[in-house]
Structure 1
């Protein structure tokens, strides 16, 4: 009940128009201004009745436009049987305008057509009936009262609908832009997390393993060798961290160029470092590069392959049993295949903890290039020996959608 009453609460514009129309009509009646002759069917003060009803209808011009148009038309007809009030006619034109502007879309389309046909029909019919040109003037008067307000309302409504559609499009564009920005931020954070993990985890794993060995073995030579490896990895890790922080920091210095992304050409140096770090754990490393000298790979593919090999070596240092870690690279049919096989089984001595983030990062790097990644234990031949195999297939001839090809690590 309360909601229903609130829906019929008059708008401020309707109140102002109702008061102005009623007061104006009273003034016109008081000074004797009328639109009909004194020999009307309802003479005298009867003219005030249509005036008052039409003013009351103005209060509902927004909340019930269709209803007040029907009632207002009847009131306008009744006004013609009185001495006539110009204020009543003017308020009716506003009711027609409001019916088009605030009514349903169907009404907004039908009312201009209906009033236009009524105007043309009245002009032709009155001219034929009166046999004078006065019929055209009466048709014109009907058009000014009905058709012109309807056309004006349709134009205003069209502009308002266009403005509302533009506003909605602007909001949708802003929402899509915000979604794109959030996705870009998320993707960049994931890329930074992968880079930080791949760059730092290798050094920290070696530090963890050798520091554990130095603490658990009471041997001066072993301790010295472990401390040497720890120092080397600490210095290298610190340099990598400084390089990454320099890339993230917007210094505005044009002379500072971002360091180039690592490529497969740096695998020899990476393996040499892995041999140094894994010597105390009985690990050896071999590289079988079957790509061919003429093979040119896109920068995103080179970076992803390098990081996958780097993370695989880090995991081998953490978890692999003594033995040889084999790295194979093959490129054929537009696919670069990276395969790293590590000894799998019980491992003596210290072991660094793992979080699983490395496998997640490698899988993400392959997915960003529309590649395939798999990792898990595999039994070799009939010997029953198991190895942990990391295998990635990276397309080299597609348009890549990830941020790996930014040119920096």
Structure 2
């Protein structure tokens, strides 16, 4: 006779009426309808009440009635949640139930009293660990078999009392159900742990992305606005001196910083877009907008890079071009993008200035910020003048990102 019990609800599950997580792809675990168990338990009790005899208020009938009530209570106790019944208490309760079921078989002269032993043995396998469950089920079989043997006598057909030895067999069904329940529970817990880890990782990614965006906005706005503000304050101070040439010079520097900041803001927004073009195309667009068309050289087999790598390399290129325009105006710029088997390397090289170099406030993140970006990607960055070779005397920034 199969023994069924619903899988206990996960203690961390949401309360009734809460969102069950269809948006996250979760699905409820199918459980056995508890009404089926109640119906089976009540069917055994009703069948026993109608068939077990004698049952009355005195003598043997009273003993049968008391044992019937005890057996019914032991069977109804199957519905108690596991977390409310300690293992030791469950062992005591089931042991007493086994003795009560065997005693009921012995004192009753007819009926379906053996059904209590069968159902209780199945629950023993479900409620207890395997070893104590097998021991207690074996005790149930021996007791029921011995009671039938003693009450029927040795001259009776052996099939009748050996039937009592089979009362412990349902314990195997209970053990199988318990194993399946634990497997389902383990799968639910593993899925919950994986979901919690995924949510934590997503939160970390969001915070990291917010930090990156904040750093980009700070690089573009904070430094630029500080430089513009300084030039405007200088112009205000010079107005009182009457030196209009210096006032115009400060105003022109502020105007140049505004144009440079707008350009950097456009590059930053471009780098932050989810539909950013592949790195070579993005670099080409950046160079064209800064007046260095056809300055890009791509070597190696081009491949699609992660968005984080593309965004950081674009910001490094942006800062390097800004520094070249500030410190080497008029100098030619060359950009090399190399795709190797184990790395991606970006080189920005500018020749010495051919125009007037204006000293002014910087607006980029500087070499420290570049190194921080490359370090986040596990790469290395070098910056400085080229000491030898055909490009000797040029200034070069090289960022190498491992594959």
Secondary structure of the 1:370 match is coil
**Pair 73,360 (structure 1): closer, same or farther in 2 beyond 3 Å:** farther
Q: d(CA) in 2 for partners of 1:177 and 1:312?
A: 37
| 1:71 and 2:92 correspond | no
| 1:226 and 2:247 correspond | no
Q: d(CA) in 2 for partners of 1:174 and 1:141?
A: 50
* Residue 175 (structure 1) shift: 0.9
**Pair 216,292 (structure 1): closer, same or farther in 2 beyond 3 Å:** same
8 Å Cα contact 2:98/2:140 also seen in 1: no
| 1:154 and 2:175 correspond | yes
* Residue 178 (structure 1) shift: 0.8
8 Å Cα contact 2:231/2:251 also seen in 1: yes
Q: d(CA) in 2 for partners of 1:109 and 1:194?
A: 66
CA RMSD across the alignment? 5.7
8 Å Cα contact 2:71/2:97 also seen in 1: yes
Compute the TM-score of the two structures, normalised by the length of structure 2: 0.56
| 1:49 and 2:28 correspond | no
Q: d(CA) in 1 for partners of 2:91 and 2:298?
A: 82
Q: d(CA) in 2 for partners of 1:334 and 1:54?
A: 75
Secondary structure of the 2:400 match is strand
Secondary structure of the 1:394 match is strand
Q: Residue by residue, what CA displacement relative to the aligned partner does 1:89-119 show, whole Å, maximum 9, x if unpaired?
A: 322323222222222454356656x479969
| 1:366 and 2:374 correspond | yes
Q: d(CA) in 2 for partners of 1:194 and 1:206?
A: 17
Compute the TM-score of the two structures, normalised by the length of structure 1: 0.55
Secondary structure of the 2:169 match is helix
Q: Residue by residue, what CA displacement relative to the aligned partner does 1:166-200 show, whole Å, maximum 9, x if unpaired?
A: 21122112112212211222232233234334444
8 Å Cα contact 1:263/1:303 also seen in 2: no
Secondary structure of the 1:81 match is helix
* Residue 147 (structure 1) shift: 0.7
**Pair 76,309 (structure 1): closer, same or farther in 2 beyond 3 Å:** closer
Secondary structure of the 2:106 match is coil
Kindly report which structure 2 residues correspond to 1:8-407, keeping only aligned pairs within 5 A, or say none.
Answer: 25-29=48-52, 32=53, 43-58=60-75, 60-61=77-78, 62=80, 63=85, 64-84=89-109, 86=111, 88-104=113-129, 106-108=131-133, 114=138, 134-136=157-159, 138-143=161-166, 145-148=167-170, 150-200=171-221, 203-217=224-238, 218-242=242-266, 244-245=268-269, 258=276, 263=283, 304=312, 307-308=315-316, 311=319, 361-372=369-380, 394-395=400-401, 398-399=402-403
Q: When the two structures are aligned, how many residues end up with a matched partner?
A: 325
